[in-house]
Chains A and B, each alone.
Chain A
Amino acid sequence: MRRAGRRKSKVEFCKEQARLFPTVDDERIEDTMKTIMEPQKEVPVFEEADVIIVGGGPAGIGAALASARNGAKTILIEKFGALGGMQTHAMSSTFSLIDPAIQGGVITDVINRLRADGGILRDASPRTRQAAFSSTSFDCEVYKAMLDDMMAEAGVKLLYHTSGVGAIKENNALKGIFIECIQGRFVILGKVIVDSTGNADIAWKSGTACMDDGHGKGPKAGRHMGFGCRLYISGVDADKFAKFKKENPEEWAGLYGGKSIVRKAKAEGRYHGYREGLIIHTRKPGIAMIEGFNSPLAQGHHGWMIEDVTAGEIDLRKQVWSAFRLIKENVPGFEHASVEKTGTIPIFRDTHRILGEYILSEEDIYKGRAFDDSIAVSNMGPDIYGPDEEHVYEVVRPHDIPYGCLVSRETDNLLAAGSTISADFYAFAADRYCAPSMCTGQAAGTAAALAAKLNVTPRQLDVKLLQDALRTQGARVSVKDIPKDVLEEYETRFEKNRNIDDV
């Protein structure tokens, strides 16, 4: 197993950045390299399947539905008690930059079903080709129940509260995974494993080469994006808040607001947060959603280290309460508000990604490059929460995601989808979003089912066959298939919006 690099002590780190991590603790003894020998064990086989999908976020949803619909016996492993990943557990309940000319197939089914179930709160998709950024938001509780039904209808075997903790590797091929759950440790055997954990958990823990680079260049090279979260507040008088915004355009024009409130509180040392303003949405009666929280990761710290995750959770909770108090005390409409809910996990951003047959690059996504082995199209640009407080979103052209990004370079029977695919930091910063995730998920699930059926490894699969299957099932496979007029609209958007900061 690959071990994380030497960590700077948290004491040193906290001296540098005193505002972070109030708990100074450097008791971890990893540097001494003490180990415990865990004896050999016989682990019972819980189940055998054609395709095992690890992780029930957007990529896993796409993969599981596609795999089962293409006839494979499919098992989906989810760590928590509901599907949706960041969309439900971190309450990022949005589909950003949705456009039926760009994404099709499973994601269209999912969104149509959400609409039919009354789960869409705000549909921004008509603005997608014009706006730099647009997002369709939904009710994550409707979504959770709907996904249970969709999985049952497709015949996916779903296991909740199950952690995929490693893989069974024989020579260069994966044969199955180890799971830990309430009942103990088990094995699930499968012909193809789709790693849609968002962190390349299975790939990394099975010793497959992964990228863990962080920022690719500049003074922040090697540093990772911080953790994020969202906050829901109840007891909000939305009309009063709207009136205040309207009457105070200098304080609350556009998305960002409360700049002077935040500035004053920061100057007085009453605010624990990094951004210069607040993003508040009101979409349900009495409820407001606050986004944009970010807990930075210092040099040498990583999103896959347990203390960093813990410190991130504690820091985010502190930020949430600081922002909540500030809003309650200063923003009209929030006088009687309460914290309604916070997430089950932080928004994990960059951690590990597989090293695939191809690495999608920054240049590929800016140029809108077409690939012969493309399996999905993305219109998402890099959305980078910098290692410190900076946030940059850049507009790019619709671009292809080639199959080579899903196929592990060195390990057979391992496919990646969503945030786990092989991409450089900037392409990752774009295609980590839910729309590309669900589409690459559909591609990975379809590829896995075809490979299992044809008894070949995913690497040996005829890409043409995969592309035909995806097209038949409604997916958009390449920018080459996108109508010219649609691409022209995107070109106008690209020219207009390139290099904008902080949307």
Chain B
Amino acid sequence: MKTITDPQKEIPVIYEADVVVVGGGPAGIGAALAAARNGAKTILIEKFNCLGGYQTLTFNSTFSLVDPEVQNGIIQEIIAELKKYEGAVERDLSKDTRKRKGMGAVFFDAEYYKRLLDMMMEDAGVKVLFHAFGVGGIKEGNRIKGIFIESIEGKRAVLGKVIIDVTGSADISWKSGAEVFSDGFPQGPKKGRHAGYGYTFFFGNVDIPKLKQLRKEQPEEWGTLRVGMNLIQKAKAEGKLYGNRVHFLISEVYGHNRIWILGPQYPIPHGHHPWVLEDLSEGEKDLRKQAWSMYDLFRENVPGFENSYIEKTPTMLLLRDSHRIVGEYTLIEEDMRQGRIFEDSIAISNMPPDVFGPDDEHDMVNNLMPYDIPYRSLLSRDTEGLLAAGSTMSVDFMVWCATRYCAPSICTGQAAGTAAALAVKNNVNPRNLDIQELQKTLQDQGARTSVKHMPKEVLAEYEESRQKKIKG
């Protein structure tokens, strides 16, 4: 491969913090708030202009399967803050969480969420840098001691005692040479292939009463969240629809004659990877093309969409599986399925694997019990000073399909941020942190750290709905 020599350079250091959090999605939000509140001088680096990650940038403005007995602490505080502003929570279905009815989601207004997060970061004393792209780690031996950022003012260094990689794709870990997973599907004919890119967008000016009528009249085709299978099949056969999905997920919860759609899907062929620039770039174009083809199909065929338009498309596509750190422990599918208890657990997840296959298949295994996430899954195995949370932590592919969601991300984020602050305070490596102190601090700050602390009656409710799902 042809290369060009990039000469040695002196890069100005612009901040020296205790904790550097890279990525402002749910995991980064949890990490930054927790680190700052536990006394660490904290800096949060975000590539775009707002916090929230996929919750804001790609319109996935939900907290799925939230249950205060499973997740508490920062996540419940955020939901409570959202509820204080009239209209900011569009719909709260969290009471369905234990019944495993739908996704038990809290749907919220992404625009207010952006503003709320600005205020929460300010209150907690987190220094936020927007439009800052973390491009690599600064390493000394096997210790990471900062990151390089690229921004409008050029390349700069931000130093920290602990670096939390919450990029969602282990960007900092991978680019600084830390050991990462990049495996994709673990078995079967699709082995090694990655989950495709997804795309969420909005239709505006939809005649909702007309759509509701349609949903009632044709419940099989239009009555549920997944709609339009026959229409899509026919249009595809006639060459009138560009795209890969066999059904679309639509929802009218966001109000204002507006329909939210998760439809376009970009499969990543064998040997290609979600982190390859040309795939990413091609994905954006192709998904936009699919969205418009879908719009044409709906406008011409679906009652209620006659005068609709594409209201907004996301700042970026949904990048699903990419890199994850290799941690001290890798949480595996069996742990999740058995609801295994860990002595060093720092968070609980009740999220089942939501698997978007490399091609068009979509599967959700909805019969699991809540399970523990151990601290060791947040700790890089080979790099000192490096913690991960959210989609970046050390889990296998099937567990990642579950824990990539925002609730486990905010909770593991809170754990990583707290651990980082305690490590700084106690002047130890995150690896050598007293786990009990971490667990106690988390519990004192409202977090749920292990299934073993969950009330029996709550677990019984989960067990009951699990049995129903197994039978159903």
Contact = CB atoms under 8 A, between A and B. Distances in A.
Interface in B277-334: 277-278, 280-281, 284-285, 288-289, 291-292, 307, 309-317, 319
B122 A161 contact: no
11 contacts: A27-B41, A33-B12, A36-B157, A80-B315, A144-B313, A148-B289, A159-B278, A181-B277, A182-B276, A185-B6, A284-B205
B239 to A, nearest CB: 18
A165 to B, nearest CB: 5
A304 to B, nearest CB: 5
A345 B50 CA distance: 9
B127 interface: yes
B2 A310 contact: no
A6 interface: no
B256 A141 contact: no
Contacts of B135: 180, 184-185
Interface string B103-139: 0000001011011001000100001111111011010
Contact of A38 (B11, B16, B132, B257): B11
Given A4-B153, A339-B111, A82 B313 contact: yes
A36 B159 CA distance: 10
B255 A309 contact: no
A167 to B, nearest CB: 11
Given A144-B288, A163-B150, A165-B150, A346 B49 contact: yes
A229 to B, nearest CB: 10
B5 A339 contact: no
Nearest to A189: B4
B155 A165 contact: yes
Nearest to A43: B6
Contacts of A183: 275-277
Nearest to B169: A182
B281 A159 contact: yes
A39 interface: yes
B260 interface: no
Q: Which of A45, A81, A144, A166 gathers the greatest number of chain B CB atoms within 10 Å? A: A81
B20 to A, nearest CB: 13
A3 B118 CA distance: 29
Nearest to A336: B256
Nearest to A146: B292
Interface stretch (A106-114, A124-132, A311-319, A448-456): A311-319
Given A40-B6, A185-B135, A287-B204, A313 B50 contact: yes
Nearest to A201: B152
Contacts of A234: 204, 256, 258, 311
A38 B9 contact: yes
A172 B255 CA distance: 57
B7 interface: yes
Contact of B315 (A3, A81, A145, A346): A81
A286 B111 CA distance: 17
A23 to B, nearest CB: 5
B270 interface: no
A345 B131 contact: yes
Contacts of B171: 182
A162 B205 contact: no
Chain A interface helix/strand/loop/mixed: mixed
B10 A309 contact: no
Given A25-B127, A165-B155, A45 B4 contact: yes
B127 to A, nearest CB: 6
A351 to B, nearest CB: 8
A248 interface: no
Given A45-B4, A46-B277, A182-B280, A314 B154 contact: no
Given A81-B315, A81-B316, A286 B205 contact: yes
A36 B115 CA distance: 34
B87 interface: yes
A132 to B, nearest CB: 31
B151 interface: yes
A234 B8 CA distance: 51
Interface in A327-375: 338-346, 351
Contacts of A317: 50, 114-115, 118
Contacts of B9: 37-38
Interface string A293-334: 000000000011111011001100110110000000000000
B146 A36 contact: yes
A82 B111 contact: no
Nearest to A322: B115
Contacts of B2: 44-45
B6 A178 contact: yes
Interface in A127-162: 139, 141-142, 144-145, 148, 152, 158-162
A41 interface: yes
Interface string A172-206: 00001010111111110100000000010100010
Interface residues of A, number: 86
Interface of A: 1, 3-4, 22-23, 25, 27-30, 33-46, 80-82, 139, 141-142, 144-145, 148, 152, 158-163, 165-166, 168, 176, 178, 180-187, 189, 199, 201, 205, 234-235, 284-287, 303-307, 309-310, 313-314, 317-318, 320-321, 338-346, 351
A45 B5 CA distance: 10
A42 B288 CA distance: 35
Contacts of B291: 145
Q: 8 closest Cβ contacts across the A-B interface?
A: A339-B111, A42-B3, A35-B10, A45-B2, A235-B256, A160-B281, A34-B13, A234-B256
Nearest to A324: B111
B14 interface: yes
B16 A29 contact: yes
Contact of B13 (A29, A165, A320): A29
B63 interface: no
Given A43-B6, A141-B311, A235-B256, A35 B289 contact: no
A156 B242 CA distance: 22
A306 B129 contact: yes
A181 B274 CA distance: 12
A205 B154 contact: yes
B129 A307 contact: yes
B156 interface: yes
B342 to A, nearest CB: 32
Contacts of A338: 87, 109, 111, 255-256
A358 B281 CA distance: 37
Q: Which of B6, B13, B146, B316 gathers the greatest number of chain A CB atoms within 10 Å? A: B6
Nearest to A89: B315
Contact of B12 (A34, A142, A166, A168): A34
Given A162-B277, A310-B130, A343 B87 contact: no
B397 to A, nearest CB: 19
A36 B10 contact: yes
Contacts of A159: 277-278, 281
A341 B313 CA distance: 10
A235 B13 contact: no
